[in-house]
Amino acid sequence: MNEKTLNETALGMVAPGRGLLAADESTGTIKKRFDGIGVENTEPNRRAYRDMLFNTPGFEKHTSGVILFEETLFQSSLAGEPFSKLLASKGVIPGIKVDKGAKPLPGGKPDETITEGLDGLRERLLKYREAGARFAKWRGVIVIGNGAPSYNAIQTNAHALARYAALCQEADIVPIVEPEVLMDGDNTAATCEEVTTWVLKEVFQQLYYQNVLLEGMVLKPNMAVSGIRCATQASVDEVAERSVRMLRNCVPSAVPGVAFLSGGQSDELATAHLDAMNRVGNLPWKLTFSYGRALQAAALKAWSGKDVEAGKKAHLHRARMNGLASLGQWEAALEKAA
């Protein structure tokens, strides 16, 4: 493990005014996105879509790194340059999603899962680093409702996240540790904060047991939001207050930064929440974004398989808005002006 390399990469991933583009949709997930715009889910179309995103002029000013799906890491741009080299040439750090997805948890509550993919990961990481990846991502999923979450689900997912993180650092790859408490239920923001606090406490306990270098990782948690089926939705300020309190209670100051997932929030709401958190100030870690749909939805719709320039324009706008939010400098008026 090269501690200096890991720390430098982690700091670069949360550099001021920049965040992460999550472009690591599996083939099945991107099919759902393409179905929504009437584009066939083929390898050439997936390649063309990612080419549009990565060749957006100026997006690198607001984007520190891109999480790639395995297929994309080994693809080349339409001009013939490997995507990892194209990104690196723009000062954007290439990363890779390494988990194999969430599967039903034996002995768990209904809908509880455990993320798989540890078998053979050590060998895969060497291959990914050779291909240009400098960080990785693993997502553990926690549900609220029907008696969940159970300690079984929280502990097993935290343990897997820590094992993955240790393997990454062994290969000089920065791990993004992503424990996601889903926002699909009818729970309040208070319940989300309570459950996420429990999850984060257990995650950092497991990271400690497995000697993970905190200075060489990035945390990717959910925000403390209301479930989408909750009758009363928490305000932007309440979400910011609860999320910051949750982090202060759980995340050691040695961690360089926190890159929030959007988790199904609308584009502008995810931006507003991040901005409000950064306006709190006096925090020991950088707070930024690691958004997938909330960064891509507008670009995907504008592109629709045909209009590359419109897709690039929409992508740049959302990247810029979130870059400003990561500095606490976003304003809703900027959306209207655009």
3-state secondary structure the chain: CCHHHHHHHHHHHCCCCCEEEEECCCHHHHHHHHHHHCCCCCHHHHHHHHHHHHCCCCHHHCEEEEEECHHHHCCECCCCCEHHHHHHHCCCEEEEECCCCEEECCCCCCCCEEECCCCCHHHHHHHHHHCCCCEEEEEEEECCECCECCHHHHHHHHHHHHHHHHHHHHCCCEEEEEEEECCCCCCCHHHHHHHHHHHHHHHHHHHHHCCCCHHHCEECCCCCCCCCCCCCCCCHHHHHHHHHHHHHHHCCCCCCEEEECCCCCCHHHHHHHHHHHHHHCCCCCEEEEEECHHHHHHHHHHHCCCCHHHHHHHHHHHHHHHHHHCCCCCCHHHHHHC
pLDDT in tens, 216-249: 999 999 999 999 999 999 999 999 999 999 999 9
Q: Which of 25, 70, 112, 178 is catalytic?
A: 178
What is the C-alpha separation between 67 and 291, in angstroms, rounded? 10
Q: Which of 220, 241, 286, 312 is catalytic?
A: 220
pLDDT band per the 50, 70, 90 thresholds, residue 286: very high
Residue 336 has pLDDT above 90, yes or no: no
Which pLDDT value is given to residue 338? 72
How large is the average pLDDT for residues 254-268?
Answer: 97
Residue 312 has pLDDT above 80, yes or no: yes
pLDDT in tens, 160-205: 999 999 999 999 999 999 999 999 999 999 999 999 999 999 999 9
Find the helix packing angle between 27-37 and 43-54, rounded to 10°: 80
Residue 6 has pLDDT above 90, yes or no: yes
Total domains in the chain come to: 1
Closest residue by Cα to residue 141 from 173, 185, 171: 185
Which pLDDT value is given to residue 149? 98
How large is the average pLDDT for residues 277-288?
Answer: 97
CA 163-15-69 angle, 5° bins: 50
CATH number of the domain at 313, please. Answer: 3.20.20.70
Statement: the pTM of the whole predicted model exceeds 0.75: yes
How large is the average pLDDT for residues 272-293?
Answer: 97
Which pLDDT value is given to residue 52? 98
Do 310 and 303 contact (CB within 8 A), yes or no? yes
How large is the average pLDDT for residues 110-130?
Answer: 98
127 is annotated as an active-site residue: no
pLDDT in tens, 30-56: 999 999 999 999 999 999 999 999 999
Rounded mean pLDDT of the chain? 97
pLDDT in tens, 315-333: 999 999 999 999 999 999 9
Q: What percent of the chain is modeled with pLDDT above 70? A: 100
Which pLDDT value is given to residue 337? 76
Which pLDDT value is given to residue 327? 98
Which pLDDT value is given to residue 87? 98
Which structural domain, as residue segments, surrounds residue 298?
3-337
43 is annotated as an active-site residue: no
Buried b / exposed e over 40-73, threshold 16 CB at 10 Å, is: eeeeeebbbbbbbbbbbeebbebbbbbbbbbebb
Residue 69 has pLDDT above 80, yes or no: yes
How large is the average pLDDT for residues 119-139?
Answer: 98
Q: What percent of the chain is modeled with pLDDT above 90? A: 99
